[in-house]
Amino acid sequence: MKQILHKRMTLSTVIPPPEPADVVDVAIVGAGPTGLMAANLLGGYGLAVAVVEAGAELIDFPRGVGMDDETLRSFQSVGLSDEVLVHLVPNQRLVFVDKKWKTLAELAPPTDEFGWPRRNGFVQPLADRVLLEGLSRFPNVSVRWSSQLTSLAQDADGVDLTIEDPSGTRTLRARYVIGADGGSSSVRRGLGFSFAGTSSAQNWLVVDLRNDPIGRPGSWVSADPRRPYVSISIPHGIRRFEFMLHDGEGEKDAEDDAFIARLLAAHVPDARYIDIIRRRVYTHHSRISEGFRKGRVFLAGDAAHVMPVWQGQGYNSAIRDASNLAWKLAMVLRGLANESILDAYEQERRAHVTAMVNLSRTVGRMVSIRNRPLAALRDAFFKGISLLPAVKTYIVTMRFKPMPVMDRGVLTTTGSSSTPSPVGRMFIQPTVATRSQPAVRLDDAIGSWFGLIAWNNDPKAILDEDALAELKRLGVRLLSARPAGQLPWDGHGDDDVTVVGDVDGRLKRWFEQHEESVLLVRPDRIVGGASTAQESSRMVRDFVATLGEPEPFTAPDQPAPESAGSVA
């Protein structure tokens, strides 16, 4: 019996019989950043993917302008970091100011612990274009434009998607479906999930200008109670302005060039000479779906959660969803894990998303204060705490930013005794050397699948035969880490082990600070297991146990995606 999840039909329309279904491993509804990143990951893992998009082309609205280090790491994992760097301003400084432009708080984190700058300005439509063009590398991935999903029906083996496109009605059969179709997701509505949360009472006008009339790098948020606004320099001579709209102002005003010129008059040298690229009115929402999965259908990105813009985490949270879910789907579809691991997607993502939504909403409330006495109290508070060096450092370095920390999911703490445990946390990405490359980021040495890293040991010498056999079955790359000066020594000369040299001492410092010396790093760069050398075989077996027995309908003879689609 199939379960009908969603149906939209005009009674007066006679719909012709659907064409025979074509079949894919994963259908993705929505060609935004979430869907396109998931398609790049899944395509790299060798899966057949169809992206179904109702629009005729990529959206060109003024959208995200902040990309963090974790997202850049995801672009790296699909071999597109060089392409997206063309559209980035690294180490983007963010300053919160009062109505007189006196600094309230500054975010300028110098860290690059994950291999990339923590804050980066970018142009989202161009970054989305990079992801779209990246799909051309995969003959097993297609994007179907002007294709409106009208219904989903799932059974024990897959999902049937009914799609209307310019040529008529057709059916697409998929093993799994990812709903990445935005905040008004028809997939989420079809699943029957509520979208609880709040919406701001005030709308904001977002305007992108060509030929930046100011030109100064950086980004500023003015908490002026008269009209809070944002001014951001982004690549290619573009200036982003965002203004809170007052009661009675709306879409009609946004289309009025004279209205926009009046808003800009106090912020640019001459508002008569501005070149508007795009404009749009937004409402800031803080909402999380009741569930992220029902059966074979998943929600990701804005379809699962939306948040205000103030920490620039809507886009980045969406990319984290794609990175977390894609490898799990690949494991199941490749016959390497039981379908039960797919439940871990929501287990691992919900708490972090909730923290990001709450942080973004809190910052938005502080910025948007319109009561002048309250705004004065806020300003005095932030100016006061900025005099405390420890607090100022905490804010500047963005230590308040919630990091992905998982206490359940596809993880094992066997053999891990550090407090806090590195298990469930993202591993660092220093620059390392190999015997063929003098400088390479660690993820590129691992490849885009799993890696097992042993410090100062040969993994094949410390792991027993059963553990090694399991790692080989899963396609896990074995790495031996050591000081870079030891690279020429051939004592660990096994071709099955990649030897990496610690170029700047970061890897050694990490292992000095933890009890664990062997790490099993997942494709999303979360530590899935960590132990001492003698406990590493037990750790590996317990991690494999979290994967469960593969489903009988999968293809266990299909090889694991070793380095899984690495296009380096």
User: What CATH code is carried by the domain that includes residue 26?
Assistant: 3.50.50.60
Q: Is 537 within a domain? A: yes
Q: 17 and 157: one domain?
A: yes
Q: Is 93 within a domain? A: no
Binned at pLDDT 50, 70 and 90, residue 492 comes out as low
Residue with tokens 């929505």: 30
Report the pLDDT averaged over residues 297-304: 96
Least confident residue range of 100-114, 292-306, 477-491: 100-114
Q: 339 and 464: one domain?
A: no
Residue with tokens 């664990």: 516
Query: Which residues constitute the domain of residue 510?
Result: 431-547
C-alpha distances (whole Å) from 362 to each of 25, 111, 366, 497 are 40, 24, 6, 48
Report the pLDDT averaged over residues 222-227: 91
Least confident residue range of 268-277, 428-437, 482-491, 503-512: 482-491
Least confident residue range of 358-362, 411-415, 547-551: 358-362
List the beta bridge partners of residue 206.
Answer: 242, 280
For every residue of 203-264, DSSP letters joined together read EEEEEEEES-SS---SEEEE--TTS-EEEEEETTTEEEEEEEPPTT--HHHHT-HHHHHHHH
Write down the pLDDT at residue 14. 35
pLDDT at 154 over 60: yes
Q: 533 and 448: one domain?
A: yes
Final residue of a structural domain among 325, 340, 362: 362
Q: Is 418 within a domain? A: no
Contacts of 287 (CB under 8 A, 6+ apart): 183, 195, 196, 197, 198, 199, 305, 306, 357
Q: Is 381 within a domain? A: no
Kindly give the pairing relationship between strand 275-289 and strand 229-234. Answer: unpaired
CATH (domain of 490): 3.40.30.10
State yes or no: cis peptide before 420, omega within 30 of 0.
Answer: yes
Binned at pLDDT 50, 70 and 90, residue 378 comes out as confident
Write down the pLDDT at residue 13. 31
**Phi, psi (degrees; rounded to nearest 5) at 137:** -75, -15
pLDDT digits (tens, 9 = 90+) for 7-62: 332 222 333 444 445 999 999 999 999 999 999 999 999 999 999 999 999 988 77
pLDDT at 316 over 80: yes
CB contact at 8 A, 241 and 209: yes
pLDDT digits (tens, 9 = 90+) for 121-142: 999 999 999 999 999 999 999 9
Report the pLDDT averaged over residues 234-250: 93
Q: 458 and 346: one domain?
A: no
| % of the chain beyond a pLDDT of 70 | 90
Report the pLDDT averaged over residues 183-208: 91
Q: Is 247 within a domain? A: no
C-alpha span between 97 and 95 (Å, rounded): 6
**Phi, psi (degrees; rounded to nearest 5) at 336:** -105, -10
Q: Is 525 within a domain? A: yes
Query: Considering its fold, how many domains does the chain have in total?
Result: 2
Final residue of a structural domain among 324, 344, 362: 362
Q: 356 and 435: one domain?
A: no
Burial 256-290 (b: 16+ CB within 10 A, else e): eeeebbebbeebbeebeebeebbbebbebbbbbbe
Contacts of 153 (CB under 8 A, 6+ apart): 2, 3, 4, 5, 159, 160, 162
What mean pLDDT is reported for the chain?
88
∠ CA 371-377-379 to the nearest 5 degrees? 100
Q: Is 510 within a domain? A: yes
C-alpha span between 559 and 449 (Å, rounded): 13
Task: For the chain, give percent helix, strand, coil, nearest 5.
Answer: 30, 30, 40
Report the pLDDT averaged over residues 142-156: 95
Top pLDDT among 322 and 312 is at 322
Binned at pLDDT 50, 70 and 90, residue 399 comes out as low
Chain CA centroid to CA 364, Å: 21
Q: Is 296 within a domain? A: yes
